[in-house]
């Protein structure tokens, strides 16, 4: 008989243990959630700039999305929801996008 992970197998005492449950089922769950948040923020800023200014800059929108996603991932990492390897990958990619945006010439 196969044992599946359900909420009955865990002692949920606080919010961080509840948020850590999806990672036990699918290890890439929070990576996909953070990528979706990044894309939603980046595309929202891009199309808002395109509507207001007539042109959008995806690199600057991506830098804003990276910064917001990194700021959101810090408390999740401290709570133990996101593991350190995912945070380091997000940090490196976010810093690269922000650095490219910061040092680009218009």
Report if residue 2 sits inside a domain.
Answer: no
Residue 71 token pair: 């700021």
pLDDT, tens digit (0-9, with 9 covering 90-100), for 78-89: 988 888 999 999
- Residue 12 belongs to domain spanning: 7-103
How many CA atoms lie less than 13 Å away from 78 in the CB half-sphere?
Answer: 6
Residue 43 belongs to a domain: yes
Number of domains in the chain: 1
Looking at the domain assignment, is residue 47 inside a domain? yes
Residue 69 within any structural domain of the chain: yes
- Residues whose CB falls within 8 Å of the CB of residue 12, separated by 6 or more in sequence, listed in order: 18, 21
What span, in angstroms and rounded, lies between the C-alpha atoms of 95 and 88? 10
Residue 3 has pLDDT above 70, yes or no: no
Residue 20's pLDDT band (cuts 50, 70, 90): confident
Residue 1, domain member (yes or no): no
Q: Which of 4, 20, 24 is nearest to 12 (CA)?
A: 20
Say if pTM beats, i.e. exceeds, 0.85: no
């Amino acid at each position: 008989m196969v044992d599946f992970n359900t909420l009955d197998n865990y002692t949920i005492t606080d919010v961080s243990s509840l948020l850590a449950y999806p990672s036990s089922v699918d290890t890439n769950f929070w990576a996909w959630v953070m990528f979706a948040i990044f894309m939603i923020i980046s595309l929202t800023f891009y199309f808002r700039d395109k509507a207001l200014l007539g042109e959008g800059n995806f690199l600057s929108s991506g830098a804003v999305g990276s910064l917001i996603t990194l700021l959101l991932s810090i408390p999740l990492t401290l709570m133990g929801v996101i593991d350190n390897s995912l945070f380091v990958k997000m940090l490196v990619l976010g810093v690269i996008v922000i650095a490219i945006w910061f040092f680009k010439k218009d």
